[in-house]
Structure 1
Amino acid sequence: MADLDTAQQLRRDAVAFVETHLGPFRKQPRVLFCSTDACFKNFSPHPFAGLNLGTYGAIVNHTGWTPHIVRHELIHHWQNEQFGVLQASILHPQWFREGMAYSLSQDPRKPIPHAPSQNHRTQFETWVAQGNNWRDPPAN
């Protein structure tokens, strides 16, 4: 409960950011903020900073309590709403899904410490620089 104000502010700011930069949500996303590893492990055995739950919401690990991580997860929520869960999570290329979330969330890490994630962001940004519109995703 001590971190409730911080979690609420991170969510409010991320929702406002995504709606301003990408467009409105159809349904306001739920965000569960875990303050311990034990909490997050109830949802995923992997040490991710965050986890998207389709159009239901997101779970943020204690390591992900940063504006860009919460925005990243809510961009996935927005993708699922706009493109459909099946399209966004399976039929669109991973470089597009993840690259879009890393790039449009304005993740300040350059490079992202996880090389495949950095590659996704680079491929997405190159694709956009070639004149492609991220609102019209490529197929796998």
Structure 2
Amino acid sequence: MPLEKPPLKRLALVVLAIVPALAWALVKPVRVIAPEWAGVTCTTTTVCVDDTSKSAEAAALYAQAVQFVDAKVSRIPGHPRVTFCSSQACADHFGLGARSAVTVGTFGTVIGPRAWKPYYVRHELIHYLQAREFGVLRLLAKPSWFVEGMAYGLSEDPRVPLSQPFEGYRSDFLAWYRSVGKDRLWAEGSRL
């Protein structure tokens, strides 16, 4: 007797239930979507912390970074959510690994314990801005010198030199940026 095939609707529902669960379990940065599930406290709609005694410091880093990026790059649309991890356990929960911080499209950012510095938060908000301006899929197709070079260059990261290839990306981006200027940044960037 042949096995009966499940109806297409039932299969679609199973896939819709399993894919998000697998993403949550296997792709840890996706957890920025709901950081509260990681035992993190969101003190505002935009700032979450694993240690509430550091919420004022996190809020100040966030506010300074938004103000900087608004003035130096362009206005940040929306209200990006940033999770500040002061412990390595928190950072590991979000899958940072060796990274200091990560931004997942427009869903959110995680700042690890080593990245509680203004230029790191600015760097990640620039990645958020890139995802908003270009869309996540188009951003993935952009050259690394543009994506990372912009984040390192326009965040005014004081580390000189950066390790390679990042110092090269920053140099290449800043040379390109001098030729296009702030007013044409997004229009010219969309052509890359």
Structure 1 length-normalised TM: 0.91
The 8 Å contact of residues 101 and 120 in structure 2, kept in 1 or not, is answered as yes
The 8 Å contact of residues 96 and 102 in structure 2, kept in 1 or not, is answered as no
Q: Which runs of 5+ in 1 are unaligned?
A: none
Aligned mate of 1:52, from 98, 103, 106: 103
The 8 Å contact of residues 50 and 64 in structure 1, kept in 2 or not, is answered as yes
Written as runs of structure 1 = structure 2, the 5 A alignment for 1:23-62 is: 23-62=74-113
In 2, Cα distance between equivalents of 1:53 and 1:91:
15
- Are positions 1:94 and 2:144 aligned together? yes
Q: Which runs of 5+ in 2 are unaligned?
A: 1-51
- Which residue is 2:120 aligned to? 69
Written as runs of structure 1 = structure 2, the 5 A alignment for 1:96-135 is: 96-112=146-162, 114-129=163-178, 131-132=179-180, 133-135=184-186
4+ residue runs over 4 A deviation: none
The 8 Å contact of residues 57 and 74 in structure 1, kept in 2 or not, is answered as no
Return the offset for 1:134: 2.9
Return the offset for 1:81: 0.5
Structure 2 length-normalised TM: 0.67
Residues 104-136 of structure 1 deviation map (CA, whole Å, 9 limit, x = unaligned): 000011111x2111111011112223x134322
Aligned mate of 2:59, from 8, 15, 31: 8
Aligned-residue RMSD, C-alpha: 1.3
1:27 maps to amino acid: G
Structure with the larger RCO, 1 or 2 (CA within 8 Å, 6+ apart):
1
How many residues are paired up? 136
Q: Secondary structure at the match of 2:165?
A: helix
In 2, Cα distance between equivalents of 1:20 and 1:9:
17
User: Could you tell which deviates more after superposition, 43-52 or 9-18?
Assistant: 43-52
Higher helix share: 2
The 8 Å contact of residues 128 and 134 in structure 1, kept in 2 or not, is answered as yes
